[in-house]
Amino acid sequence: MDRQTERDLIERAIAGDRVAAGEFIQAHQASVYAYLLRMCGRPHLAEDIAQEAFVRVLSNLDRFDFRYRFSTWLFTIARRLYINAMQKHKPAFDSEIVERAVGGGFNPGEPVDDGESLHSRRDMLQHALMRLSTEQREII
């Protein structure tokens, strides 16, 4: 969406146009959800945080600074909500799980014999990533 179209939708939404609000939510919903899902690894939590992000955006739309991109503002809100959610349910770092996921006999030079093995390793890695702190996950 170009900046002028985005601005028009936001101005209409500020004026109370629900259709315009729905249009820009629909335009950004998938990307916000995908970002949050990559960060937290839990579909239900990603959906909840994304929904809260859009509620916050709609509640504060009149504060949006048009000098910046709307998506930057939206993702900043989503990221902060994600960090807040993770602080409430902070997982402990478990080096044993990371070791099993990345060092458990896996040789990058060996061909993967089946999709099930790859899927299992992917699950182990995702589980290990979820045990890292928010900052560690963002770095990775």
Q: What is the pLDDT of residue 63?
A: 94
Helix (H, G, I), strand (E, B) or coil at 34: helix
Q: What is the pLDDT of residue 131?
A: 79
Q: What is the mean pLDDT of residues 107-118?
A: 57
Question: What is this structure's pTM?
Answer: 0.65
User: Long-range contacts of range 135-139, CB-CB < 8 Å, 24 or more positions apart?
Assistant: 136/93, 137/39, 138/39
Q: Is the pLDDT of residue 81 over 60?
A: yes
Q: Which amino acid is at 88?
A: K
Domain boundary among 68, 88, 108: 88
DSSP state of 61: G
Q: What is the mean pLDDT of residues 33-43?
A: 91
Are 106 and 82 members of one domain?
A: no
Q: Is the pLDDT of residue 99 over 80?
A: no
| pLDDT tens digits, 53-78 | 999 999 999 999 999 999 999 999 99
Which residue segment(s) compose the domain that 76 sits in? 3-88
Q: Considering the chain, what is the average pLDDT of its residues?
A: 82
Are 78 and 100 members of one domain?
A: no
Are 44 and 71 members of one domain?
A: yes
Which tokens belong to 129? 């990533």
Helix (H, G, I), strand (E, B) or coil at 109: coil
Q: Which helix (H) or strand (E) holds 132?
A: none
